[in-house]
């Protein structure tokens, strides 16, 4: 019972989601359905016109016609007049056919426009929602799978809503009208024609359930295949450098074989479904033709009625046969919609009620902060320190010591839960600061900077597209990037490629630094972002930042002592705890971790200078 209630609630949620996607195109879909109704009415009337022509005009059995047909013939001049002017019937048939053609054309045009607008709404809605999801969510979901949901799954839902939803209206109307005309002509033959229909429905429902499970498995594995391809293409340079091509080919081939086998399994189900309905349809047609001929010989059915009946039967079989395709696509669309819903159902980042703007000037305070990722082992243990506004803090520590985690928490990329301490800026708890305002006041250069496919200038200006040439030149110079730009033939218009593949590690870091400096934020964070540049360039960049952006509160995270040595305060992290705190000179004299790292790195630099 609980599972059923859950499914019902989930179904309602999906309908609400669909309703939001249909905004702006509901009217087009309504017009599309009206055109489909008019087209269906016109096509369903044609067998009745043929019946009139055969029974009333050719055979002269006017008494066999329904009263409404007799009235229509009288309006056209009577049977005698029409028999002498047979072109009238031909004209009526042409007129009805023309209505059918025009309605079908309007249906197709409106369907294309409605589906185009629908797919735009879905893609815009899904993409916009993804942009607002928590940073932590992306670490748990593969990019390839998200691409799959944003492309193939959306197209599957669009195809069903734009084509099959309108087909359902046509099917219902065709079955209703054809069934009505068949029963008015001969009830016994109508029962014979409609008797197999429940079997069609039962077979369709059985295969619907099987196809839904099969398609879900196929869709998930296609997402995994996309993820393998995406990761391979993103890391192609590493793969080629380590000669891992064969291993990657085998990895892709293994996943591709699994996906292919699942597709074959689903195709077999579809083939069995169509074959079984083919057999049922053939038996039904044979039965109707056999009994119809017998009834016609026995004079219980006229020639015109038999012709019309067989035509209506064919029209009836078309939607029943199409029901299989609709059910198949309904199964696929249901799975795809569910996968889209899974993303849309993830709660976006939200500010606390009454959240305020971030103070542009104020001390940063970490008070008894403890943190773990997804309930795992603690990465930070009771960390407390303060950074005076306008000063520079250096954070030194080895890999896994929690350096980057501190900055992820400060930028609210991960949220500090209640009872695990607090982080404040200017005395205001981060939980009570608007996230957008906070990030606008923090310029951050991550440990592994990402550059977008575009030019150098576009990548730098994405932090502040209203910056003028003077500001651009200032931040480029501060990032020690001017000489690099001058060496490129196209200067600022040099295309860096996806992820900045055409640049060295140091050049990418300097572009990212220039981009962060362009924000002119009151808080600047450099998360091991000078690791790929030499010591001399490191010193130049830090001096330039101090000269041009000295008012900002600067946090330097590094594993290199020379990077943090000039900071007003240095903290040393070890195993997620602050083991030492002080200035460069104070820490050198204490004989702790800082001094050991300092001596080791000095020895290494001396060895390199003598080499």
Q: Write the CB contacts of 474 (distance below 8 Å, at least 6 apart in sequence).
A: 548
316 lies in the same domain as 453: no
217 lies in the same domain as 320: yes
Query: Would you give the distance in Å from CA 387 to the centre of its chain?
Result: 41
pLDDT of residue 101 exceeding 60, the answer is: yes
251 lies in the same domain as 397: no
Report d(CA 523, CA 388) in Å as an integer: 11
2: in domain:
no
Residue 26's domain spans which residues?
Answer: 17-344
Q: Are strands 569-574 and 422-425 parallel, antiparallel or unpaired?
A: unpaired
76 lies in the same domain as 194: yes
In percent, how much of the chain has pLDDT > 70?
85
Q: Which residue has the tokens 């591709």?
A: 256
Residue 213 token pair: 């499970």
Average pLDDT taken over every residue of the chain: 79
Task: Give the CATH number of the domain where residue 329 resides.
Answer: 1.20.1560.10
Report d(CA 286, CA 279) in Å as an integer: 11
381 lies in the same domain as 336: no
Work out the average pLDDT over 24-48: 83
Work out the average pLDDT over 556-574: 85
Confidence (pLDDT) at 67: 62
Position 308 confidence tier, pLDDT thresholds 50, 70, 90: confident
Confidence (pLDDT) at 8: 38
398 lies in the same domain as 300: no
Query: 347 φ, ψ to 5°?
Result: -65, 130
326 lies in the same domain as 379: no
Confidence (pLDDT) at 321: 66
Please, are residues 370 and 381 in contact by the beta-carbon 8 Å criterion? yes
479 lies in the same domain as 539: yes
457 lies in the same domain as 540: yes
449: in domain:
yes
133 lies in the same domain as 268: yes
pLDDT of residue 102 exceeding 90, the answer is: yes
Ordered DSSP codes for 541-564: HHHHHHHHSTTSEEEEEES-HHHH
12: in domain:
no
320 vs 173, higher pLDDT: 173
Number of domains in the chain: 2
pLDDT of residue 330 exceeding 80, the answer is: no
**478-529 residue pLDDT tens:** 888 888 888 888 888 888 876 777 777 778 888 888 888 888 888 888 887 7
Confidence (pLDDT) at 1: 36
183: in domain:
yes
549 lies in the same domain as 403: yes
4: in domain:
no
326 lies in the same domain as 440: no
Report d(CA 225, CA 246) in Å as an integer: 17
Q: Which pTM value belongs to this model?
A: 0.67
pLDDT of residue 3 exceeding 50, the answer is: no
């Amino acid at each position: 019972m609980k599972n059923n209630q859950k499914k019902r609630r989930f179904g309602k949620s999906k309908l609400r989601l669909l309703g939001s996607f249909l905004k702006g195109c509901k009217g087009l879909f309504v017009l599309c359905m009206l055109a489909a109704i008019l087209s269906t009415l016109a096509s369903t009337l044609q067998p009745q016109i043929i019946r009139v022509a055969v029974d009333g005009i050719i055979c002269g059995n006017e008494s066999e016609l329904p009263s409404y047909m007799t009235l229509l013939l009288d309006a056209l001049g009577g049977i005698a007049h029409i028999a002498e002017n047979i072109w009238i019937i031909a004209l009526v048939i042409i007129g009805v056919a023309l209505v059918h053609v025009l309605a079908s054309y309007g249906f197709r045009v409106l369907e294309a426009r409605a589906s185009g607008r629908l797919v735009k709404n879905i893609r815009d809605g899904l993409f916009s929602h993804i942009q607002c999801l928590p940073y932590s969510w992306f670490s748990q979901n593969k990019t390839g799978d998200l691409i799959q949901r944003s492309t193939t799954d959306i197209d599957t839902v669009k195809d069903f809503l734009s084509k099959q939803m309108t087909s359902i209206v046509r099917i219902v109307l065709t079955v209703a009208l054809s069934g009505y005309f068949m029963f008015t002509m001969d009830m016994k033959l109508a029962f014979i024609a409609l008797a197999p229909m429940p079997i069609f429905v039962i077979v369709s429902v059985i295969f619907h359930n099987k196809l839904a499970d099969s398609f879900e498995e196929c869709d998930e594995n296609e997402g995994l295949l996309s993820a393998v391809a995406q990761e391979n293409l993103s890391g192609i340079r590493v793969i080629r450098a380590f000669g891992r091509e064969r291993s990657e080919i085998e990895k892709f081939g293994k996943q591709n074989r699994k996906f292919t086998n699942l597709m074959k399994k689903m195709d077999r189900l579809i083939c069995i479904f169509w074959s079984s309905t083919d057999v049922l349809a053939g038996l039904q047609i044979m039965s109707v033709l056999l009994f119809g001929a017998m009834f016609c010989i026995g004079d219980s059915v006229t020639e015109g009625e038999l012709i019309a009946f067989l035509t209506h039967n064919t029209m009836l079989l078309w939607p029943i046969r199409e029901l299989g395709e609709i059910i198949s696509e309904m199964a696929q669309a249901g799975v795809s919609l569910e996968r889209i819903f899974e993303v849309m159902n993830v709660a976006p980042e939200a500010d606390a009620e009454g959240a305020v703007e971030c103070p542009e000037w104020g001390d940063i305070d970490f008070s008894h902060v403890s943190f773990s990722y997804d309930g795992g082992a603690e990465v930070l243990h009771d960390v407390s320190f303060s950074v005076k506004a306008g000063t520079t803090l250096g954070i030194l520590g080895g890999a896994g010591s929690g350096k980057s985690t501190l900055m992820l928490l400060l930028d609210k990329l991960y949220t500090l839960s209640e009872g695990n301490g607090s982080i404040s800026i200017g005395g205001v708890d981060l939980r009570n600061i608007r996230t957008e305002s906070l990030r606008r006041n923090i310029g951050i250069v991550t440990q592994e900077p990402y550059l977008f496919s575009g030019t150098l200038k576009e990548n730098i200006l994405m932090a502040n597209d209203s910056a003028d040439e003077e500001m651009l030149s200032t931040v480029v110079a501060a990032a020690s990037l001017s000489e690099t730009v001058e060496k490129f033939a196209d200067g600022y218009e040099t295309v860096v490629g996806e992820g900045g593949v055409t640049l060295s590690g140091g050049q990418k870091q300097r572009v990212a630094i220039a981009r962060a400096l362009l924000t002119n934020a009151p808080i600047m964070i450099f998360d091991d972002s000078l690791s790929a540049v030499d010591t001399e360039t490191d010193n130049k960049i830090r001096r330039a930042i101090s000269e041009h952006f000295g008012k900002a509160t600067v946090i330097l995270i590094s594993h290199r002592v020379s990077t943090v040595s000039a900071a007003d305060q240095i903290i040393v992290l070890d195993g997620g705890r602050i083991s030492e705190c002080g200035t460069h000179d104070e820490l050198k004299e204490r004989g702790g971790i800082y001094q050991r790292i300092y001596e080791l790195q000095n020895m290494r630099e001396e060895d390199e200078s003598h080499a």
